[in-house]
Structure 1
Amino acid sequence: MRLFVGVLPPRRARDELARALRPHQGAWPGLRWIDRANWHVTLSFLGEVPEEIQPELETRLARAASRHAPMTLSLAGAGAFPSARRARVFWTGLYGPRLPLVRLAESLGAGARRAGAVQVDRKRLSPHLTLARTRTETDVTGLVEAFAAFEGAEWEMSAVHLVRSHLGSTVRYEEIAEYALTAPAPYGRS
């Protein structure tokens, strides 16, 4: 199974993002726009995971998530990887408490490794939601500049999700489990 742990923005945030994107999509027909049903923010990419470790994986991910407090997040701004002039990915950012997000991602990755997931990506978290892709490097500077002013409403993330990727001619994501963030917020804030 190809798995990741991520943030699934609530419907209200996805609706708001879809409305903001609509005027830009027609102007950039060369981009492959991601279906909103697949919008997510990856916190920890686990890669191919053997089914036999799933029970231990779920236990460790639930434990890792429970050690973190809910967080107030929002989607805002725009960017591209590797750069706006040579883009392959166009994205909007995930904003919230940076250090707690990084620590949550690291904790989830460590739990997955202890469960036996060996392909866990160890890259430092760069929280973003992919909106479009392109097969060839494309200059999307104008799109990044036009969408940079986007500021979505805040929402509280109180759980993370274990998601399975089904690859093929189209990508489909299947939510396998949800893990609550139950630690008290430091200083009474998220």
Structure 2
Amino acid sequence: MVSRTTGTGSPVRRMFAAVLPPAELVTSLGDRLDPLQVRWSQLRWTDAAGWHLTLAFMARVDAGQYDRLVENLTGVSARTARFDISLAGAGAFPAPPIGRNLWLGVYDPTDSLTRLAAETRRAVARSGVRTPDQKFTAHLTLARVPQPTDLSPQAAVLDEWSFGPWPVDELALVESQLGQGREGRPRYLVTDRFRLAEH
């Protein structure tokens, strides 16, 4: 089943396919982060409304590719049974502990999220859309810094946290609108949602 929202209508879109955490987890994580955002105000914390687990990033989706992309992702969701994951562990990209991105990791005991990411990337490729040739590392980005920084103190605190498990029951296709959000941050618009199979 596909749920659709009208996008910007641009002939070329910057997009990604992702799993979105449930509202109650977003609230719980946000409450835990509030004191840290004050404590480490030098970090550029991401907006909770945009938290997601990226499965496939697409820098350019042409209008002529979009319907095929939706069709292929519909097929992936129909073949993928729902599963549970948790947020656990923490780190920094690109070379821990030195990095520009601070993130929470994912506990995926059945490797279901990893398999979904692989299927999603193959579906994107079949649509004629390119994705970066990078190893999939499930993570939720919480903060960024403009220059490589030792983020080990922050990662050490976050590494003790765990949220979930929660059921992954849908795949989202999201349009990223650069410089449209608060303080020039990207604004994310979910254009399609694909329900995973119940069994």
TM-score, scaled relative to structure 1: 0.91
Residue matched to 1:109: 121
Residue matched to 2:101: 89
Residue matched to 1:60: 72
Answering whether residue 10 of structure 2 is matched by residue 11 of structure 1, we say no
Alignment partners' CA distance in 1, 2:57 and 2:103 = 17
Q: Label 1:81 to 1:98 Cα distance change in 2 as closer, same or farther (>3 A).
A: farther
Alignment partners' CA distance in 2, 1:115 and 1:141 = 40
Letter in 1 for 2:101: V
The offset of 1:52, in angstroms, is 1.6
Does structure 2 conserve the Cα–Cα contact (< 8 Å) formed by 1:88 and 1:136? yes
Number of residues of Structure 1 aligned to a counterpart in Structure 2:
183
The offset of 1:84, in angstroms, is 4.1
Which is worse superposed, 18-27 or 129-138? 18-27
Answering whether residue 168 of structure 2 is matched by residue 157 of structure 1, we say yes
The offset of 1:83, in angstroms, is 3.5
Residue matched to 1:187: none
Q: Identity of paired residues, percent?
A: 34
Once the two structures are superposed, residues 65-99 of structure 1 have per-residue CA deviations (whole angstroms, 9 ceiling, x without a partner) of 21111110111221111244322000011222353
The offset of 1:159, in angstroms, is 0.6
The offset of 1:103, in angstroms, is 1.6
The offset of 1:54, in angstroms, is 0.9
Answering whether residue 57 of structure 2 is matched by residue 24 of structure 1, we say no
Q: How does 1:36-185 map to 2 (within 5 A)?
A: 36-97=48-109, 99-117=111-129, 119-168=130-179, 169-182=184-197, 184=199
The offset of 1:41, in angstroms, is 0.6
Alignment partners' CA distance in 1, 2:198 and 2:158 = 35
Alignment partners' CA distance in 2, 1:86 and 1:178 = 35
SS at match of 2:39: coil
Alignment partners' CA distance in 2, 1:35 and 1:100 = 26
Does structure 1 conserve the Cα–Cα contact (< 8 Å) formed by 2:91 and 2:97? no
Does structure 2 conserve the Cα–Cα contact (< 8 Å) formed by 1:20 and 1:150? no
Q: Label 1:153 to 1:99 Cα distance change in 2 as closer, same or farther (>3 A).
A: closer
Letter in 2 for 1:27: R
Alignment partners' CA distance in 2, 1:24 and 1:89 = 15
Root-mean-square deviation (CA, aligned residues, Å) is 1.4
Once the two structures are superposed, residues 106-148 of structure 1 have per-residue CA deviations (whole angstroms, 9 ceiling, x without a partner) of 111111111111x212322100000000011111211111121
Alignment partners' CA distance in 2, 1:51 and 1:125 = 26
Residue matched to 1:188: none
Q: Label 1:28 to 1:84 Cα distance change in 2 as closer, same or farther (>3 A).
A: farther
Letter in 2 for 1:9: P
Bigger fraction of residues in strand: 2
Q: Structure 2: which 5+ residue stretches go unaligned?
A: 1-12
